[in-house]
Each structure stands twice: as C-alpha cells, then as structure tokens.
Structure 1
Amino acid sequence: MRNDMISGLFGAMTCEYRMNIIANNLANAHTTGFKQEKLAFEDVFVSYAHDEIRQPVLSVREKELFPEAVNLAQVRLAGTKTDFSQGSFKNSENPLDVAISGPGFFKLQTDDGLLYTRNGNFHLTADGTLVNADGFEVQGDGGAIVLPPNTRVDINESGQIFADGALTAQLDVVEVQDPDVALEKYGQNLYRPREEGAVVEQEAQQSTVNQGFLEAANINIIEEMVNMIETQRAFEAYSKVMSNSNDTCLKSIAKVGKSTS
C-alpha cells in the first residue's frame, strides 16, 4: 500500500478517535466535577536500511548524517490524558453539597472497592448514611459517615462535619501524586488506580472543602466546538488524500503495459 494512503488512513482514524473524545467532553459539559479528556500524540519514525549505517561509506554517503537519520515521521496516538485542572464553583445552597478547591478527591466505597471522585453532590439515606447520587457510601476517617437525623449539618474547610454544632465525622479528602498517571476513569464520574499500587495518597494539604457548592466541569464549550470543526475539516482532508491516492494508483495500473504505438 502506498505511504500516502497509509498516512491518510491513520490520519482519518485519528480524527475519528479525537471526535469521540470531543463529543464525550461536550456531553459532560454540565456534569458536576467532570474532567475533560485530551489526546496525546507521539511520533513514529520510519527509517530505511541505509539509515542504519552509522559510519560514512563512500558508496552511500561521505559524512555522517546530523542529526541521526530519520527519513520519515508519522504522528500516532499515544493515548488520552485527563485534565485535572480546577473547575468553577456553582452555589447549590444544599448543605450536603461540597466542592473541593485544590487537587484533592473524595473517596467512595463501591462494589469494586474504594474509588475516587470530584463530584461532591451527596445526600443522606433513610438511616442517615452519607452517599453519592449512585448510592455509594462517602468515606470518612472511620469508614462510612452516618449523621443523626433532623440536625443542622455544617462542614468546615478541613472537611469536619458538625451536626447541631457537635463534631460528628470527618470527610476523607486525599491528594494523589501524579493523578493523570496513577488514575484512570472508571465511569459514573469515578476514578480508579490504573494498576495495583499505582496510587500514592497523602493528606490534603493544598485542598479545602467548600460547603453548599458544586464544582462545574472544566470544559470550555466554545473551545471544544472549535476543536470539533477543526477535526471534521481534517477528516475531510485525509479522506481526500486517500481518494487522490486511489485515483493515482488506478491510473498507473491502467497505463502500465499499455502500447504507446
């Protein structure tokens, strides 16, 4: 297959993948605590046999190449990266809603073990257990947090929870070293370790808890729409490259061996 056809194919596939990421970002633009995904790229270097000759050879070249020979570089996807930058705050006026200012995470007990989230939209069950919208228990310093019924709840910046003025529980807010490397998206706006032992937790030192607020998604809708248009145009261009390459091949095949007399 011609190299221009391969380049066009991988370019179009890259655009398709990027479009899926952009569409998911836009779909979650109003999801509390959502962190946008970004694509990471890397170069794939294609070399030829004579590029591997380190020393000058008169039949090939008189001098060493500088920098080292790389005849062709093609861009490929290296993967996606989660942007954990801070989202803006919106006032919910709900005393059980909390937003983290800083790099911290809440911890939830789920069917698959302890997971992390930035979504602080919590509520109480009938027995007073603090849970998220999916019913997962919010973790405190002693496990699940249970609050007395019919009490005024106050939460300070350190995550301490007071019921009618009495200290009742402590939100487990932790910071993770290199979260974009250690964590991956699990679904339901949750994060899990990429592999066992990948997460190194530490006490929240740069994070504060804000009662009555929720963190908005860190997505710029206009920027994402521009990215979508750009990706669509790039896909069309790569499709044109493949079409032109195919036309060239067909014309070459038709002319090979054709009598010129």
Structure 2
Amino acid sequence: MSGLIESATAILGASEKRLEVAARNVANVSTPGYKRSSGFSQILASARVGDTVPDIVERKDFMQGKLISSKNPLDLAVNGDGFFQVRAGDQLLYTRQGQFQLAENGAVVSSQGYVLQQAGGGDLVLDNAAVTILDDGAVLDDGRPVARIGLSAPAAGATLTALGESHFAAGGTMEEVADPSIRQGMLESSNVAMGDEMVTMMAAMRQAESGARLVQVYDELMGRALTTLGGAR
C-alpha cells in the first residue's frame, strides 16, 4: 500500500506546482513581453505509481503577443522572431520587453537599468530620445543614421533560461536575426490568456482532490488492517 500514498504525494505535489505557475502567469498578464510557462501535465502523465515527484522544468511559450501602441519613441516591440539584447553589468540577457528610456549618460536602458545593445554589440547611446527607429532597427537622428538595433535568436542547440519575469540567459550561441522587424512606439503585450490559466487552475484543483481521495482511501485501508490485526489477537 506504500505505492498508494506515494502516488497521492506525486499528484498533490504536481498540482501544487501547476497552481504556482498559473498564478505567476496571471500575475504577469500585464507585463510587456512576458511569456507564459506551461508543461506540468505532460510530466505528471508520465509518472508511474511509486515514483518520487520529479523535478519539473517549466516550458516557456514564446508565441507572439499582441502589439499595443504606446506613442513613446523608445518603446519598441519585436514583430516576429528574435529578442533584444541587453547588458546587465557584465552579463548579456535577452528579452522582448521593449520599454526603454534615456539615462543621464545617454544610454538607452530598460526599467531595470539594463542597457540596450546595438547590432554587433556595444551599448546604444543617443543624444536625445527624439529619434526615428526603422523596422530593420536602423536608428535615425534628424534623418542621419547613428546606430542600428539588432535582434538575436538561439542557434541550433542553444537554449534560453528564464531569469525573472521577462529576461533570459542564453545557453549556447545566439545568432543575429537576418531580417529583423521592430516597431517603434509600440509594446508587445504578455501572451497570457486568462481563460487558459483559469482552466489550468481548475484542472490542478481537480488533481489535488483526486490526490486527497487517495490519501483518504489509504487511511481507510490502514484502519481496516489495524482493526483486523487487533481482532485476531
């Protein structure tokens, strides 16, 4: 009967983690560039009775979010493939959260203070925020080209690991997108669908209920066994 309680523990643990991920998705429904997490149901379905709860790796859904106009000239949205490259200290990160502003030193930075990188590398520094950014990432100041913003995508075999809400660290080589598409004065919204997250939460709650019923059955069986053993003396 030990397998019964282990199975219940696995179900309860997986349902709890699914609820945690769904709650995080809901909390970031308004975060620009946020990509929803998923993937718990497949791992739970592959578990066998008696297995311990496996470490569950969250899978990111990189589906394009809707583009929303903001009128801010340094708000940028990726239309299609690719990520902005930003510098956080000595580390390069990748994001589709395109809310940027001009720092005192002229660097174009995110709300976290990460510096937007140019195509080919190097901080993007401007004299003013009144620039025109073309779809291919070219930055024009009074009609004069001054820089170009590139987009990066994982090369074959490379992976992206989520760091915080909307930033990723690259595991492997990142390649520059050959034909980038950037929209100035727009932001990409989160790709979280509230209806989907509510369905996920309800499914996780039903799984938790089934796990609780297994625990109840285990308790009843143990009670009967103890009663039988006690009566046999």
The letter of the residue matching 1:190 is H
Please state how far the C-alpha of 1:204 moved relative to its aligned partner. Answer: 1.0
Question: Does structure 1 retain, via aligned residues, the 8 Å contact 2:6–2:51?
Answer: no
- Report the equivalent of 1:123: 101
- Report the equivalent of 2:10: 10
Question: Does structure 2 retain, via aligned residues, the 8 Å contact 1:98–1:209?
Answer: yes
Change (3 A) 1:45 1:222: closer
Alpha-carbon distance between aligned partners in 2 of 1:26 and 1:188, rounded to the nearest angstrom: 12
- Report the equivalent of 1:184: 161
Please state how far the C-alpha of 1:134 moved relative to its aligned partner. Answer: 1.1
- Report the equivalent of 1:87: 65
Change (3 A) 1:247 1:224: same
Structure 1: which 5+ runs fail to align? 47-71
Following TM superposition, the consecutive aligned residue runs of length 4 or more in structure 1 with deviations greater than 6 angstroms are 72-75
TM-score by length of 2: 0.89
Question: Does structure 2 retain, via aligned residues, the 8 Å contact 1:103–1:206?
Answer: no
- Report the equivalent of 1:57: none
Alpha-carbon distance between aligned partners in 2 of 1:210 and 1:122, rounded to the nearest angstrom: 13
SS at match of 1:244: helix
- Report the equivalent of 2:228: 255
- Report the equivalent of 2:206: 233
The reply to whether residue 212 of structure 1 matches residue 185 of structure 2 is yes
The letter of the residue matching 2:87 is Q
- Report the equivalent of 1:140: 118
Question: Does structure 2 retain, via aligned residues, the 8 Å contact 1:34–1:119?
Answer: yes
TM-score by length of 1: 0.80
Please state how far the C-alpha of 1:95 moved relative to its aligned partner. Answer: 1.0
Alpha-carbon distance between aligned partners in 2 of 1:199 and 1:165, rounded to the nearest angstrom: 37
Change (3 A) 1:171 1:206: closer
- Report the equivalent of 1:65: none
Structure 2: which 5+ runs fail to align? none
The reply to whether residue 201 of structure 1 matches residue 179 of structure 2 is no
Please state how far the C-alpha of 1:27 moved relative to its aligned partner. Answer: 0.3
Please state how far the C-alpha of 1:117 moved relative to its aligned partner. Answer: 0.7
Alpha-carbon distance between aligned partners in 1 of 2:192 and 2:90, rounded to the nearest angstrom: 28
Identity among equivalent positions (%) equals 28
Alpha-carbon distance between aligned partners in 2 of 1:101 and 1:168, rounded to the nearest angstrom: 22
Please state how far the C-alpha of 1:189 moved relative to its aligned partner. Answer: 1.9
Please state how far the C-alpha of 1:127 moved relative to its aligned partner. Answer: 2.4
Q: CA RMSD in A?
A: 2.3
Please state how far the C-alpha of 1:199 moved relative to its aligned partner. Answer: 2.4
Alpha-carbon distance between aligned partners in 2 of 1:9 and 1:25, rounded to the nearest angstrom: 25
Aligned pair partner of 1:153 in 121, 124, 131? 131
- Report the equivalent of 1:110: 88
- Report the equivalent of 2:21: 21
The letter of the residue matching 1:30 is S
